[in-house]
Amino acid sequence: METKKALPVLFAVMFFVMVGFGIIIPVLPFYAEELGASPAELGLLMAVYSIMQFLFAPMWGRISDRIGRKPVMMLGILGLAFSFFFMAFSTALWMLFAARIIGGFLSAANMPTVMAYAADITSEEDRGKGMGIIGAAVGLGFVFGPAIGGVFSESSLAAPFYVAGISSLITFLLVLFVLRETLDKQAEKEQPVKRSLKKSAQSPVFVLYFLQFFVSVSLAGLEATFAYFAAEQAGLGPVELGYIFMIMGFAGALVQGGLVGRLTKAFGEGAVIQIGIIISAAGFGFILFIDNFTTAAIFLSIFGIGNGVIRPSVSALITKTAANGYGSATGFLSSFDSLGRIIGPPLGGWLFSIMIGLPYIAGILLSAFALVLYFMYKAQMKKELVAASSVKG
């Protein structure tokens, strides 16, 4: 399958995966509450999925380097479908926890394998474009998923879970019948890709994983607290906040799908990462001054655009420079991203309890630290190039 044909299919796959995931977001708290979940148990229920993603994404990435992208991707999507149907049939809280744990474990295969697939089918020059398209699919899936979930929840709280399960099964069939395997097994045998975390940590590229971690922490902290901040500062309600996040999602997806590839091709991934971090930091600063719907939508979109170009550019740079296999590299990246999403919400909530604007001031500081990490990566790469040149000389 040619790259031009494969990327739209890959976009559709990731879009449907994220729509299915997003569908259950607005109803899961109420569904869990009906089954007797306390606020603390609900928090754990939401977190356990990300914990499983953090633990097992690198494993699935390595497996995809060995046996191929397609079977691992299919297993991840099928696991997601199973978890949705399991949640729909749940009659006790432990069943809901079991479904989230199984779903998190198996669906941890999806993101690293899809990104590795995109790396397989794109040249280094077009790698940013491929990763940007994946990012756009994720963003749009999060925009449409919760909206669809809200509509179907009017008939029954279980209905969105069935819809999410059916969406995942359709995605499974799409992968089964349309996508072809991309991994060159003979090439992989000639150049083994399995590397330990310790060996990967010795590479300058490993700094980029921590960069993505701090970016994810700041984003998750914002997502966890913005509703309260906007209600306090501008008197915005749930409906208005839904529209604001939808606008931000569209803005981020538009930039990821249409501009990231062009920008990385013109200026390189490193420059785009720096620009994204600076815009993201500016967005955090602007958010402190929101006073109505319009300013909230504009300032949050500025943040979303900056934040949105970072992940695809980091993914592209890692797959271009990492010595280990694409699956292993993107698996580690997904793991660090999930860790940021685990730590970000409680950290943001704690900072918000001290001062309502503190999560966004912290976001500026975390962005600055991420920028420092990029310069550290750049300096280490330059040092390695100089050392390699002297050895050749």
8 Å CB contact between 213 and 340: yes
Residues 217 and 276 in one domain: yes
Q: Is residue 84's pLDDT more than 70? A: yes
Kindly report, residue by residue over 87-100, the tens digit of the pLDDT: 999 999 999 999 99
Q: Is residue 19 included in any domain, yes or no?
A: yes
Q: Is residue 243 included in any domain, yes or no?
A: yes
Residues 246 and 343 in one domain: yes
Residues 20 and 114 in one domain: yes
Domain boundary among 146, 179, 212: 179
Kindly report, residue by residue over 149-172, the tens digit of the pLDDT: 888 887 888 888 999 899 999 999
Residues 243 and 104 in one domain: no
Residues 96 and 145 in one domain: yes
Whole-number pLDDT of residue 290: 95
Q: Is residue 345 included in any domain, yes or no?
A: yes
Assign 45 a pLDDT band (cuts: 50, 70, 90): confident
Residues 162 and 24 in one domain: yes
Residues 220 and 155 in one domain: no
What percent of the chain has a predicted confidence (pLDDT) above 90?
52
DSSP state of 323: S
Residues 152 and 249 in one domain: no
Residues 23 and 106 in one domain: yes
Residues 212 and 287 in one domain: yes
Residues 312 and 353 in one domain: yes
Kindly report, residue by residue over 307-366, the tens digit of the pLDDT: 999 999 999 999 887 666 889 899 999 999 999 989 998 999 999 999 999 999 999 999
The CATH number for 152's domain is: 1.20.1250.20
Domain that holds residue 380: 200-393
Assign 125 a pLDDT band (cuts: 50, 70, 90): confident
Q: Is residue 301 included in any domain, yes or no?
A: yes
Residues 6+ apart with CB under 8 A from 57: 108, 109, 111, 112, 331, 332, 334, 335, 338
> How many independent structural domains does the chain possess?
2
DSSP per-residue codes, 262-309? HHHHHH-HHHHHHHHHHHHHHHHHHHTT--SHHHHHHHHHHHHHHHHH
Q: Is residue 331 included in any domain, yes or no?
A: yes
Kindly report, residue by residue over 187-216, the tens digit of the pLDDT: 443 344 444 455 556 678 889 999 999 999
Residues 169 and 206 in one domain: no
Kindly report, residue by residue over 224-280, the tens digit of the pLDDT: 899 889 989 999 887 788 888 889 989 989 899 888 989 998 999 999 999 999 999
